[in-house]
């Protein structure tokens, strides 16, 4: 029998139902591991609160409840607000903040019987690709602790990879589930924009933000996604009026005849040879599983970077205007008048990258520049979505790298925002189009660091992505490999 912390969510759930282990034993086991870890993945734990949830789960189990996730532990990215734990969004601005309510995603997973073990580190307000923008320190990649875990859901990815939790939530605005999943050798899925409620997700760029699960396997992601999705009409006007699906159905469907589109622009200059080699091998595996490969084109791929880095900061500058020191969060200690209080509060509370984006966003929305930047970016965003629609006429799903390289060294790009932005090239187009996307581990590059394969599907086709990822995982064992010492 594998160690508890090497088990998948599906295994743990089965063992809980078989009464082979209790929810309280599991919570204790993982809490001990969290306490002993020095990766910096967790920002908050509260063993008493977690054990109370575990006791409630054990009572449901004892009463014969067979809910599929009952008693399984997880942790939430600190972008989700939670009643039982502080919620900081990785920012000093929200140090010590307690929400009076749970985010819808948190509530749904709690109702499914999952036990929350704490809150996970992330880039401040989910702005970043390395987790180095957290006000609470960087997270280390468990595969090489001198390297970044990716971002912005870096704590989530590192925690799962290190066996501190069997699953975690993440959020993805421009790649923040897919890229850290890739860098830490785990599986993650961002559903179609609108599938998961954004209620209680601290807003970064509202037209892009989406929640999703991060875990070891596609099957585990399917289990969590089934529980966390669904309409939330009273609380998130952009949540889709589509019933939650059971994504575990259809995982085993054969891939014969599946047409996988390879965007020419995802395999060009800039893609590191070691990443390319792992992706190519994965594609050969897909051929062996019955899929056919077709070349497609996403001609505006490069434009996704400037378009995203106009639209996302524009929305952020508006969303973050609520942090003014009046109702909640940090407030400057000394100030002359109201304007001075706003100014000092925001100057002290926000980090460098967040301030940079607020300024860029304010600029591109300002009178005189709105048409030249923001409006233009919106038009190109539409064209990027149209490019995907044209590509999906020729294929069932799109595959490519998640990131151009494996995880880089801590500090390497810390002083170079543009270098960070450029590394988002393969995840941004799907985000701008609102498509479902996932990352699954498919090999190792230089230094034995994990490489992720990105799968993108047409709107609402999460099932197709999970099926393709699951079949790959049935035929390979990359998702079961662990960093040394874990
Ligand atoms: N790396 C991207 C950014 O810095 C994406 C972040 C995200 O998806 N939250 O904005």
SS3 for 308-334, per residue?
Answer: HHHHHHHHHHHHHHHCCCCCCCCCCCC
Cα separation, 359 vs 357, in Å, equals: 5
User: Ligand 1 within 6 A of 126 CB?
Assistant: yes
Contacts of 214 (CB under 8 A, 6+ apart): 153, 156, 157, 160, 167, 168, 169, 170, 177, 180, 181, 186, 187, 188, 221
Closest CA to 171 of 149, 156, 186: 156
Q: What is the pLDDT of residues 142-173, one digit of tens each?
A: 999 999 999 999 999 999 999 999 999 999 99
User: Ligand 1 within 6 A of 173 CB?
Assistant: yes
pLDDT at position 244: 86
Gap from CA of 292 to ligand 1 centroid (Å): 32
Atom nearest to 177 CA in ligand 1: 8
User: Ligand 1 within 6 A of 424 CB?
Assistant: yes
- pLDDT band at residue 2, thresholds of 50, 70 and 90? low
Classify domain 8-254+461-480 by CATH number. 3.90.1300.10
Closest CA to 173 of 313, 271, 270, 275: 313
User: Ligand 1 within 6 A of 152 CB?
Assistant: yes
Residue boundaries of the structural domains of the chain: 8-254+461-480
Collapsing DSSP to helix, strand or coil, 147 comes out as strand
Tokens 């993945």 found at: 41
Atom nearest to 308 CA in ligand 1: 10
What's the burial of 233, exposed, middle or buried (CB within 10 Å: 0-12/13-18/19+)? exposed
pLDDT at position 328: 85
Gap from CA of 480 to ligand 1 centroid (Å): 27
Cα separation, 261 vs 249, in Å, equals: 24
Gap from CA of 191 to ligand 1 centroid (Å): 16
pLDDT at position 3: 86
Gap from CA of 176 to ligand 1 centroid (Å): 5
User: Ligand 1 within 6 A of 172 CB?
Assistant: yes
Summarize the confidence of residues 361-367 as an average pLDDT: 96
Closest CA to 91 of 264, 349, 335, 436: 349
Atom nearest to 309 CA in ligand 1: 10
Q: What is the DSSP letter of 409?
A: B
Gap from CA of 461 to ligand 1 centroid (Å): 23
Atom nearest to 431 CA in ligand 1: 8
Q: Which of 210, 312, 413 to mutate to test the pocket of ligand 1 (most atoms within 8 A of CB)?
A: 312
Active site residues: 77, 152, 176
Q: Which of 80, 125, 129 to mutate to test the pocket of ligand 1 (most atoms within 8 A of CB)?
A: 129
Q: What is the pLDDT of residues 78-120, one digit of tens each?
A: 999 999 999 999 999 999 999 999 999 999 999 999 999 999 9
User: Ligand 1 within 6 A of 150 CB?
Assistant: no
Cα separation, 164 vs 166, in Å, equals: 7
Q: Token pair for residue 449?
A: 């660091």
pLDDT at position 1: 44
Gap from CA of 315 to ligand 1 centroid (Å): 13
pLDDT at position 57: 98
User: Ligand 1 within 6 A of 401 CB?
Assistant: no
Cβ atoms of residues 178 and 452 within 8 Å: yes
Cβ atoms of residues 440 and 187 within 8 Å: yes
What's the burial of 148, exposed, middle or buried (CB within 10 Å: 0-12/13-18/19+)? buried
Gap from CA of 255 to ligand 1 centroid (Å): 32
Decide if pLDDT at 403 tops 60. Answer: yes
Q: What percent of the chain has pLDDT over 90?
A: 99
- pLDDT band at residue 289, thresholds of 50, 70 and 90? very high
Q: Which of 122, 134, 151 to mutate to test the pocket of ligand 1 (most atoms within 8 A of CB)?
A: 151
Helices 304-319 & 376-391 angle (0-180, nearest 10): 130
Q: Token pair for residue 230?
A: 């669904």
Dihedral angle over CA of 276, 282, 283, 286, nearest 10: -170
Gap from CA of 129 to ligand 1 centroid (Å): 6
User: Ligand 1 within 6 A of 312 CB?
Assistant: yes
pLDDT at position 287: 98
Atom nearest to 208 CA in ligand 1: 8
| Biggest CA pair distance of the chain | 70
Decide if pLDDT at 309 tops 60. Answer: yes
Cα separation, 358 vs 317, in Å, equals: 4
Dihedral angle over CA of 260, 166, 129, 97, nearest 10: 140
**H/E element holding 348?**
helix 338-349
Q: What is the pLDDT of residues 38-63, one digit of tens each?
A: 999 999 999 999 999 999 999 999 99
pTM across the whole model? 0.98
Q: What is the pLDDT of residues 217-270, one digit of tens each?
A: 999 999 999 999 999 999 999 999 998 899 999 999 999 999 999 999 999 999
pLDDT at position 462: 98
């Amino acid at each position: 029998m594998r160690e508890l912390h090497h088990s998948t969510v599906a295994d743990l759930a089965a063992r809980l139902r078989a009464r082979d282990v209790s929810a309280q034993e599991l919570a204790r086991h993982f809490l001990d591991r969290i306490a002993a870890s020095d990766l910096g993945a967790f920002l908050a734990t509260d063993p008493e609160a977690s054990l109370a949830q575990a006791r409630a789960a054990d009572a449901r189990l004892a009463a014969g409840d067979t809910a599929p996730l009952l008693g399984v532990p997880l942790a939430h990215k600190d972008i989700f607000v939670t009643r039982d734990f502080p919620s900081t969004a990785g920012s000093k601005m929200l140090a010590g903040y307690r929400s009076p309510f749970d985010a819808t995603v948190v509530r749904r997973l709690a109702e499914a019987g999952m036990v929350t073990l704490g809150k996970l580190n992330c880039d401040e307000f989910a702005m970043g690709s390395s987790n180095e923008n957290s006000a609470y320190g960087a997270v280390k990649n468990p595969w090489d602790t001198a390297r970044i875990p990716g971002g912005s859901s870096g704590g989530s990815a590192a925690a799962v990879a290190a066996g501190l939790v069997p699953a975690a939530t993440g959020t993805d605005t421009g790649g923040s589930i897919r890229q850290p999943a890739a860098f830490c050798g785990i599986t993650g899925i961002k559903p179609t924009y609108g599938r998961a409620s954004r209620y209680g997700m601290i807003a970064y760029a509202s037209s892009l933000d989406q929640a999703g699960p991060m875990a070891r396997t596609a099957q585990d992601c399917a289990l969590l996604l089934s529980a966390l999705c669904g309409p939330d009409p009273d609380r998130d006007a952009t949540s889709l009026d589509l019933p939650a699906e059971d994504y575990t159905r259809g995982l085993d469907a054969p891939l014969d005849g599946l047409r996988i589109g390879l965007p020419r622009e995802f395999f060009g200059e800039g893609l590191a040879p070691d990443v390319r080699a792992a992706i190519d091998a994965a594609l050969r595996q897909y051929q062996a599983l019955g899929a056919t490969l077709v070349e497609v084109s996403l001609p505006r791929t490069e434009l996704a970077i400037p378009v995203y880095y106009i639209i996302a900061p524009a929305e952020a500058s508006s969303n973050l205007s609520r942090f003014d020191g009046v109702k909640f969060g940090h407030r400057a200690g000394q100030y002359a008048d109201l304007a001075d209080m706003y100014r000092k509060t925001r100057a002290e509370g926000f980090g460098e990258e967040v301030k940079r984006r607020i300024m860029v966003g304010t600029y591109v929305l300002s009178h005189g520049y709105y048409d030249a930047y923001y409006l233009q970016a919106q038009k190109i965003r539409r064209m990027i979505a149209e490019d995907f629609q044209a590509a999906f006429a020729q294929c069932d799903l799109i595959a490519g790298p998640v990131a151009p390289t494996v995880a880089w060294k801590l500090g390497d790009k810390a002083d170079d925002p543009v270098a960070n932005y450029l590394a988002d090239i393969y995840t941004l187009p799907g985000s701008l189009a609102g498509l479902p996307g996932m990352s699954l581990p498919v090999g190792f590059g230089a230094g034995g660091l994990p490489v992720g394969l990105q799968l993108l599907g047409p709107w609402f086709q999460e099932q197709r992505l999970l099926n393709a990822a699951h079949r790959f995982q049935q035929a390979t064992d990359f998702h079961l490999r662990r960093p040394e010492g874990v």
